[in-house]
């Protein structure tokens, strides 16, 4: 345990979870935490953030760390697809023989560099100055069941449907055989020792390396979309994109920004995340293409299980999933936690007509077919789901097209056309509206 103390100090700093008192205990002078410039020293001057990031990048794409020898993190989270799925498969196969399937849609890993830890009560300061409990918020994965990047990284490494290692010793042994094992040991071994003599410590450092890599700005949060260029006054939105943005923000029409904020509430921060990380039940249709759904009694209920286990006796949480970012959403082929819908237009149509034309989404005479009726009270029915007073959907076909056009501006890697604005202008004061 003593040997792990400096490591725990680093982890505490990385996760920002432990208080100043513990940071004090880690050294004579408290180190400012969490940034590359003020990184707490661990074994003298190593490992550096750069060392961990570089190791993390190699680990991320190394299939030799899986039981099959064929799967790495990058097999499911493709760097070329904003760290989302590399292909059109609904679920990426994994396991020792690459023939096992999970049941969740693979998320993009972009813009997850700073999610708040999961909490059942997130208090947001309202414009009136009051505070309102927004309910369950934050965490990583679709049900927020893990908080830190290093804890998360262990899950796919050990998941029987994914990289399928059965013990930390197995992971450490695979790591010791990689071409970068020497560099890894040099970076993270305690002075005079070899990290591979302690498999638990080797695996912890492996996950910390992945966590560091996931913080790398150029790869994971470049803010390089057309929308970002627009916020920087370096691009102009088309009429359709502009209209789509207005409907997205309009509280009486799309109301999308109420969960996927398109502006930043904090003054001075201009680049929004397009998620408030709230956990909400949308009653997404059942996906018959998922193998688990052959069993009519199986339901993925998000916060209340089956993958998450600490809130299983909380019926009010059944059906809730964490709101994803919409950045890079146009690169995806399957949408929502179960991949039930296959195009962005279909997703926006779902928001518009879930409650005006349920037959289309759930089958004739049926409703909310992926959630047992006892949990239907959990389903969100605010705008845009709430029909107009005349019973019609809030969004017209043209509104839907325009929202889709706007979502297309959220894809990273935008290059301004050569004939862009010729001189830089002052930054825009208010972001989206």
Residues that bind ligand HEC in the complex, under the rule CB under 6 A: 71, 73, 75-77, 92, 94, 102, 104, 106-107, 109, 112, 140-142, 152-153, 156-157, 162-163, 210, 254-256, 258-260, 280, 282, 284, 307, 321, 323-324, 326, 329, 332, 335-337, 344, 347-348, 351, 380, 384, 403
Return the SS3 of 341: strand
**From the CB of 28, what's the least distance to ligand HEC, in Å?**
35
Interatomic CA distance for residues 17 and 28, integer angstroms:
20
Interatomic CA distance for residues 66 and 83, integer angstroms:
18
Q: Do residues 264 and 281 touch, judged by C-beta distance below 8 A?
A: no
Nearer to ligand HEC, 62 or 228 (CB): 62
Nearer to ligand HEC, 70 or 232 (CB): 70
Whether residue 154 has a cis bond before it, omega within 30° of 0: no
Nearer to ligand HEC, 41 or 246 (CB): 246
Nearer to ligand HEC, 55 or 109 (CB): 109
**From the CB of 421, what's the least distance to ligand HEC, in Å?**
28
Q: Do residues 408 and 238 touch, judged by C-beta distance below 8 A?
A: no
**From the CB of 195, what's the least distance to ligand HEC, in Å?**
18
Interatomic CA distance for residues 234 and 100, integer angstroms:
46
Nearer to ligand HEC, 22 or 173 (CB): 173
Interatomic CA distance for residues 33 and 40, integer angstroms:
7
Interatomic CA distance for residues 384 and 390, integer angstroms:
14
**From the CB of 90, what's the least distance to ligand HEC, in Å?**
11
Task: Please name which of 190, 195, 192, 167 lies closest in space to residue 180, comparing C-alpha atoms.
Answer: 195
Nearer to ligand HEC, 102 or 305 (CB): 102
Interatomic CA distance for residues 291 and 101, integer angstroms:
8
**From the CB of 25, what's the least distance to ligand HEC, in Å?**
29
**From the CB of 211, what's the least distance to ligand HEC, in Å?**
8
């Amino acid at each position: 345990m003593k040997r792990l103390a400096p490591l725990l100090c680093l982890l505490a700093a990385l996760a920002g979870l432990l208080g100043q008192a513990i940071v004090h205990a880690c050294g004579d002078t408290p180190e400012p935490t969490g940034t590359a410039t003020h990184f707490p020293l661990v074994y003298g001057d190593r490992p550096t953030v750069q060392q961990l990031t570089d190791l993390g990048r190699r680990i991320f794409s190394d299939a030799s760390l899986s039981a099959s020898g064929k799967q790495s993190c990058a097999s499911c989270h493709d760097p070329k697809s904003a760290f989302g799925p590399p292909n059109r498969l609904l679920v990426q196969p994994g396991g020792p023989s690459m023939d096992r399937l999970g049941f969740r849609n693979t998320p993009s890993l972009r813009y997850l560099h700073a999610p708040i830890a999961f909490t059942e009560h997130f208090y947001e300061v309202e414009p009136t100055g009051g505070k309102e409990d927004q309910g369950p918020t934050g965490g990583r994965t679709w049900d927020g069941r893990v908080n830190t990047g290093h804890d998360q990284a262990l899950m796919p490494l050990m998941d029987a449907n994914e990289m399928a290692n059965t013990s930390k010793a197995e992971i450490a042994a695979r790591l010791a055989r990689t071409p970068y094992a020497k560099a890894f040991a040099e970076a993270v071994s305690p002075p005079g020792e070899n990290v591979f003599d302690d498999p638990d410590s080797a695996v912890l450092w492996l996950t910390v390396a992945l966590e560091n890599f996931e913080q790398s700005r150029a790869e994971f949060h470049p803010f390089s979309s057309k929308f970002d260029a627009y916020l920087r006054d370096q691009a102009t939105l088309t009429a359709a994109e502009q209209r789509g943005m207005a409907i997205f923000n309009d509280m009486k029409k799309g109301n999308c920004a109420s969960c996927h904020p398109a502006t930043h509430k904090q003054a001075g921060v201009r680049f929004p995340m397009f998620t408030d990380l709230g956990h909400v039940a949308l009653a997404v249709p059942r996906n018959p293409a998922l193998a688990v759904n052959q069993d009519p009694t199986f339901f993925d209920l998000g916060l209340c299980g089956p993958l998450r286990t600490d809130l299983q006796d909380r019926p009010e949480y059944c059906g809730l999933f964490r709101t994803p970012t919409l950045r890079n959403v146009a690169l995806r082929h399957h949408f929502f936690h179960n991949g039930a819908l296959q195009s962005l237009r279909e997703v926006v149509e779902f928001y518009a007509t879930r409650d005006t034309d349920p037959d289309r989404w759930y089958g004739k005479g049926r409703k909310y077919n992926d959630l047992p009726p006892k949990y239907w009270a959990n389903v969100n029915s605010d705008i845009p789901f709430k029909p107009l007073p005349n019973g019609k959907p809030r969004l017209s076909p043209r509104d839907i097209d325009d929202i889709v056009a706007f979502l297309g501006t959220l894809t990273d890697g935008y290059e301004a056309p050569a004939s862009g604005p010729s001189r830089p202008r002052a930054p825009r004061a208010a972001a989206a509206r």
